[in-house]
């Protein structure tokens, strides 16, 4: 997998950014549900 | 549709670690796909053995082989293993193997996370299975884990809850990886509506996973804190509400049903056009139907709870919302039939399983519609009719599609054709026995036999005996599948060509069989015809 050129680095950054966003959405739902019922 | 033109790619990077290190540290999508599929097969036999314990006990009335507590453990563990350990990892295995090849990507978007997603699973299922050795035995409150019954579980409870958390983390990481792969790694020129339907169904499934698994995690976390940390989320004595758990659980649970079945739709949508030698009928409507099913799956959860008690308006809403899912599902079924209509069909093993899927899944879908009718559900609820319904959807639906997919892609994975005679023997034994196993359960349910009981009234004897015979034949016929896979993997069979099937279309069939270690080191060019 060629990762040394600029294009692929850009894709890798996009992948990581999307993963963080989706992970945060998932975590928010998890914590949100518990807090919503707790309070 | 589009046509791929490969531009003389040399695959010279086939170096990879060997032995145990290859499998422990691999970041390769094909290796991880293989790991998922092997894990799923192993769990299929463990969960299947539990099903055989259940069917042996139910062969005749009275308590024969196991005590009721252990019987309840078996029903609970069987369900948890089959849902989270077989169907989900199995379909993720297909996704890992096929998605990058179908979209012209070199690998999954986040390969290291992919490795983690898989290796969390063996830990999760070790935690779950070891509860059988604890004092008090394994969890016995049902896979739905309803309090207050589930809170009576002895030492097994925290193990089960942590296991479910691990499974959830694994699924969400896998889903994130799939979304990133599909959205960011497609070959240049491949638009969303150029993607094969298997890719579409997985994109939608991944979003369902991201949206619903955290809800399950939240529910079981609250269960854990109710048991050990003095909270009263579900304890009426402390101001909580046990019915709240059911709402939260099924808000996850119904999308979960589509998490299990949408990838199955995707597999079947790849296979039927290949063996009908026609493009998939109504591709765009299939995409929209998939998205509609996913959206509707979030607003129907309370049809699992009609008998719990809710306002009439709510019952009506959930009933009509449930019935509306039949529309996009019907679109899919009619499109598969229209694809086959006047096609030059041949019936190799994958096609046999795919056609059986269409017929038997439709039976499961219709009994689901019956259960979705609120007043009628008052009779069917918690009977064997429900058991028959979801086994038609999940065994002759999801599992059959996985078998179809395994036969369809096995030559691509191993480079060798499987044994067609053994494949057909496996199919016919499976299709006859699965109906013998589950069809009589409709009659038992309608006659009033409750689910999750080790003993029953003698009036239910005959159909239970027939069902158990079907269960044992189905269980042991699956050994043929293992033999077919082993034979193909060890190179016993005709050498497979790159295209494998005469009617197969798509980027994955432009790669050699087996494909190179890195699929598309240079992205393929997509040209429109």
How do residues B434-450 score in pLDDT, each as one tens digit?
A: 999 999 999 999 999 99
Q: Which residues of B are less than 8 Å from A33 in CB distance?
A: 214-215, 218-219, 248
pLDDT digits (tens, 9 = 90+) for B264-292: 999 999 999 999 999 999 999 999 999 99
Chain A CA closest to residue B219:
A34
Mean pLDDT of B126-149: 94
- Residue identified by tokens 């240079």 is B522
pLDDT value at residue B168: 96
- Mapped onto helix, strand or coil, the DSSP state of residue B504 is coil
- Length of chain A equals 39
Structure tokens at B529: 């015809």
Average of pLDDT values for B6-32?
74
Beta bridge partners of B2: B528
Contact B107 A1 (CB under 8 A): yes
Cα(B347)–Cα(B386) distance, integer angstroms: 32
Picking from A18, A29, A33, the nearest residue to B183 by CB comes out as: A18
Selected catalytic residue, list B40, B269, B274, B349: B269
C-alpha–C-alpha distance, residues B226 and A29, integer Å: 20
Res. B528 pLDDT band, cuts 50 70 90: low
Q: Select the more confidently predicted residue: B3 or B384.
A: B384
Q: How many CB atoms are closer than 10 A to CB B68? A: 14
Structure tokens that stand for B475 in this block: 């269980």
Closest residue in B to A2 (Cα) is B521
Give B49's contacts (C-beta < 8 A, 6+ positions apart). Answer: B475
Peptide bond into A35 cis (omega under 30): no
What's the CATH class of domain B21-510?
Answer: mainly alpha
Share of chain B above pLDDT 90, in %: 92
Distance between CA atoms of B529 and B210, rounded to whole angstroms? 36
B404 touches B354 (CB < 8 A): yes
- Complex ipTM more than 0.85, yes or no: yes
Closest to B36 (Cα-Cα) out of B81, B109, B83, B90: B90
In whole angstroms, give the CA distance from residue B464 to residue B57.
10
Q: Taking chain A, what is the end-to-end CA distance rounded to the nearest angstrom?
A: 49
Contacts of A19 in chain B (CB under 8 A): 109-110, 113, 176-177, 180
Mean per-residue pLDDT, B405-428: 97
Taking the CB of residue B91, how many other CB atoms lie within 10 A of it?
30
Q: What does the alpha-carbon distance between residue B160 and residue B125 come to, in Å, rounded to a whole number? A: 9
Q: What does the alpha-carbon distance between residue B484 and residue B492 come to, in Å, rounded to a whole number?
A: 10
- CB contact under 8 Å between A19 and B185, yes or no, is no
Provide the 10 A C-beta neighbour count for residue B180. Answer: 24
Q: Which residues contact B378 (CB under 8 A, 6 or more apart)?
A: B306, B307
For B457-499, how does the pLDDT look when each residue is reduced to its tens digit (9 = 90+)? 999 999 999 999 999 999 999 999 999 999 999 999 999 999 9
d(C-alpha B163, C-alpha B144), whole Å: 14
Statement: residue B378 has pLDDT above 60? yes
B242 has a chain A CB within 8 A of its CB: no
Q: Are B383 and B443 in contact (CB under 8 A)?
A: no
Question: Is there a catalytic annotation at residue B254?
Answer: yes
Which of chain A's residues have a Cβ under 8 Å away from the Cβ of B180? Answer: 14-15, 18-19, 22
| C-beta of residue B389 within 8 angstroms of C-beta of residue B371 | yes
Distance CA B248, CA B212 (A): 10
pLDDT at B369 over 80: yes
Partners of residue B382 on adjacent β-strands: none
Peptide bond into B148 cis (omega under 30): yes
- CA–CA dist B50, B309 (Å, integer): 33
Band (pLDDT 50/70/90 cuts) for residue A6 is: low
Q: Is B222 helix (H, G, I), strand (E, B) or coil?
A: helix
- A25 in reach of chain B (CB within 8 A): yes
User: Are B211 and A27 within 8 A, CB to CB?
Assistant: no
Determine which of A13, A30, A39 to mutate to test the interface with B (most B C-beta atoms within 10 Å): A30
| A16–chain B Cβ distance below 8 A for any pair | yes
A-facing residues of B in 376-435 (CB < 8 A) are none
């Amino acid at each position: 997998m060629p990762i040394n050129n600029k294009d692929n680095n850009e894709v890798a950054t996009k992948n990581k950014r999307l993963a963080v966003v989706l992970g945060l959405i998932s975590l928010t739902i998890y914590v949100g549900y518990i807090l919503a019922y707790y309070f | 549709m589009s046509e791929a033109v490969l531009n003389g790619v040399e695959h010279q990077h086939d170096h990879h670690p060997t032995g145990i290190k290859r499998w422990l540290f691999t970041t390769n999508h094909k290796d991880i796909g293989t790991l998922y599929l092997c894990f799923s097969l192993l769990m299929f036999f463990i969960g299947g053995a539990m099903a055989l314990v259940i069917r042996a006990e139910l062969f005749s009335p009275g308590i024969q082989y196991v005590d009721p507590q252990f019987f309840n453990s078996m029903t609970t563990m069987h369900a948890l293993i089959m849902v989270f350990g077989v169907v989900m990892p199995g379909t993720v295995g297909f996704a890992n193997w096929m998605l990058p090849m179908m979209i012209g990507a070199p690998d999954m978007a986040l390969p290291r996370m992919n490795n983690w997603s898989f290796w969390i699973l063996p830990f999760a299922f070790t935690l779950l299975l070891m509860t059988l050795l604890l004092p008090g035995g394994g969890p016995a409150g049902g896979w739905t884990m309803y309090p207050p019954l589930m809170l009576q579980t002895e030492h097994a409870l925290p193990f089960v809850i942590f296991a479910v958390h691990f499974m959830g983390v694994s699924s969400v990481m896998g889903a994130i990886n799939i979304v990133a792969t599909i959205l960011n790694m497609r070959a240049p020129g491949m638009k969303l509506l150029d993607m094969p339907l298997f890719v579409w169904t997985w994109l939608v499934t991944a979003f369902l996973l991201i949206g619903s698994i955290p809800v399950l995690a939240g529910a079981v976390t609250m269960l854990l804190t109710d048991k050990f940390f003095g909270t009263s989320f579900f304890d009426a004595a402390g101001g909580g509400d046990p019915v709240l758990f059911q709402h939260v659980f099924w808000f996850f649970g119904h999308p979960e049903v589509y998490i299990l079945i949408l990838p199955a739709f995707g597999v079947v949508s790849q296979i039927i056009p290949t063996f009908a030698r026609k493009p998939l009928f109504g591709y765009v409507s299939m995409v929209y139907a998939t998205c509609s099913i996913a959206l509707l799956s979030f607003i129907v959860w309370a049809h699992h709870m009609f008998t719990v008690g809710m306002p009439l308006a709510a019952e009506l809403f959930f009933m009509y919302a449930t019935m509306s899912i039949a529309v996009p599902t019907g679109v899919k079924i009619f499109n598969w039939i229209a694809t086959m209509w006047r096609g030059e069909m041949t019936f190799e093993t994958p096609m046999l399983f795919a056609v059986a899927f269409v017929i038997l899944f439709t039976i499961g879908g219709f009994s689901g519609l019956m259960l979705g009718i609120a007043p009628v559900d008052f009779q069917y609820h918690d009977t064997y009719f429900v058991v028959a319904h979801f086994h038609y959807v999940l065994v002759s639906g999801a599992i059959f599609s996985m078998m179809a997919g395994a036969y369809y892609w096995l030559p691509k994975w191993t480079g060798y054709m499987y044994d067609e005679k053994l494949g057909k023997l496996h199919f016919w034994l499976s299709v006859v026995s699965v109906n013998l196993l589950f069809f009589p359960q409709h009659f038992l349910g309608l006659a009033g036999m409750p689910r999750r009981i080790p003993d029953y009234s003698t009036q239910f004897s005959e159909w239970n005996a027939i069902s158990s015979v079907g269960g044992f034949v189905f269980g042991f016929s699956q050994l043929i599948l293992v033999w077919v896979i082993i034979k193909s993997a060890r190179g016993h069979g005709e050498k497979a060509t790159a295209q494998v099937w005469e009617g197969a279309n798509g980027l994955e069939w432009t790669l050699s069989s087996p494909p190179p270690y890195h699929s598309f080191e240079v992205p393929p060019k997509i040209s429109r015809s």
